[in-house]
Amino acid sequence: MTQAARGERPDQSDAAGRWHDNAQAASPRVLCDDAHKTYTTGGRNVQALRGASLRIDGAGFFAVMGRSGSGKSTLLHLLAGLDRPDSGRVELDGVDVGGLSDRAATEFRRTRLGIVFQSFNLVPTLTAEENVELPGMLAGADAKWLRGRSRELLDELGIGERHTHRPEALSGGEQQRVAIARSLLYSPPVLLADEPTGALDSASAETLWSLLGRLASERSITVVMVTHEPAAAAHCERVFVISDGRVTDDFGTEGLDAAGVAARYEQSGRS
């Protein structure tokens, strides 16, 4: 039975491109070094990233902020191993995700990475706890362990009593919590969130940002959230500004509220 099947975070890899667990503290949690990526859309070449670079060394709650078309989602896709850079290097927890095969990248995402999207996170035909169990089920994990773990995570995120409900019976905020619980099944070192509160009301969004921040500190995980909202970024400890395919600035948010973040962001844009 594999480590994932036993409920453990796998730490083996091989020379063919499977990931290694890098035990060296010097390796950053997230590294993007001079990444370039061009897409062809409607017959036109669109250069989404033009040498984006970003480094995050430890656990924490971080934002990548930019306008629409700035390349922030592309950056997130490269970090998640959903795509490969045309050039440059992308590493997550010491693993060169850009160099992984499709199979290896898939298995990497299963146990070493959590991903939360803006919408369509959950499989509509599964219950909340079944959705949480999904990565483990795909890994062939023990059903009893999965059930216990999913209940534990749902309880921790405050929606334990909704574990048998299908997504259609959950509010937007509750659905996102289920998605977060799923992403934490194997306690990954990194959690990527792509505009996770885009479809939520402000109160639910606030709750979710606080939750992500709490998880980052309590579990020592690196949460990278892509957002265009200053209010979201204000909950993070650091903001990376991306513009025209490059990370142009980064700043700490200590002492800044949403308005402060917005002003600082505008300042980055002018400089």
Partner 1 sequence: MLPALRLATSSLGGRKVRSGLLIAAVALSAALVVAVSSAVSSVNASLGDRMKQTVGVADLAVRSSGSGKSFGTDVLDEIRSWPEVARAEGIFSASISAQGLIEGLTPGDTTWERGFLEVRATALAFGIEPTGIDLRPVDLVAGRLAQAEGEIVIDQLLAERLSWRWATAPEKKLGFAVAAGASEVAEPIRPVPMVVTRDDEAGEINSRAGVWLGDVIQMPRLFRDGVPLEVVGIAAQPPLGGRPQAYMTVEGLRVLKGEADALSEVLVVVAEGVDPEALQMDKANVLGDGLILKTTEKITAGVDRSIRSSQLGLILASVLAFLSASFIVMTGLTTDVTQRQRELAVLRCIGATRRQLVVAQVGIGLLLGVLGAAIGVPMGLAIAWTLIEVFRDQVPGGLSVPWFGIVLAVVGSVGSGLLGAVWPAWRTGKLSPLEGLGVRARPATRRGVMIVTGFGLLGLAIQLAIVKGPTDGQVVFWLYATMGLPALFIGYFLLGVPAVLVVTRVLGGVTGKALGLPPRVLRRTIEATPYRHGFTAGALMAGLGMMVGIWTEGGAVMRDWLGTIQFPDAFVSSLFLTEEAQADLDAMDFVEATCAITIEPVDIEGFGIEGLQDFATSFLAFEPRSFFDMVDVQWVQGSEAEAVPRLEAGGSVIVAREFLIAQGLGLGDTFVCKKNGNSFEFEIVGVVTSPGIELVSKFFNVGAEFEQQAVHAVFGSRNDLKTKLGSDAIHLIQIDLRDDVDDAEAMATIREELFEYAILDAGSGREIRDEIVGFITQSLVAMSSIAIASMLIASLGVANLIAAGIEVRKFEFGVLRSVGATKGLIARLVLAEAIVVALAAGVLGSLMGLQGVLAGQRIYKLLMGMEWRIIPPWNAIALGFGIVIALSLIAAGPAVWRLSRRAPRELLASPA
Is 60 near partner 1 (CB under 8 A)? no
Neighbours of 137 (CB within 10 A): 15
Scanning 133-141, 209-217, 221-229, 232-240 for contacts with partner 1 by CB under 8 A, the matching segment is 133-141
Contact 222, 190 (CB under 8 A): yes
Closest alpha carbon to 122 in 199, 200, 180, 162: 180
Which one of residues 46, 53, 134, 152 is an interface residue with partner 1 (CB under 8 A)?
A: 134
Q: Cα separation of 56 and 210, whole Å? A: 20
Residue 37 lies near partner 1 (rule: CB under 8 A): no
Residue 149 within binding range of partner 1, rule CB under 8 A = no
Q: Which of residues 73-132 bind partner 1 (CB under 8 A)?
A: 77, 80, 82-83, 102-103, 106-107, 109-111, 115, 117, 119-126, 130
x/- track of binding to partner 1 for residues 151-190 (CB under 8 A): -------------------------------xx-------
Q: Which two tokens stand for residue 11?
A: 């730490």
Report the amino acid identity of residue 39: Y
Residue 116 phi/psi, 5-degree rounding, is -125, 130
CB 265 within 8 A of CB 65: yes
- The nearest distance, CB 185 to partner 1, in angstroms, is 9
Q: Which is nearer to partner 1, 78 or 256 (CB)?
A: 78
Stated as kind and residue range, the H or E segment containing 242 is strand 238-243
Binding site for partner 1 (CB under 8 A): 77, 80, 82-83, 102-103, 106-107, 109-111, 115, 117, 119-126, 130, 134-135, 137-140, 182-183, 199
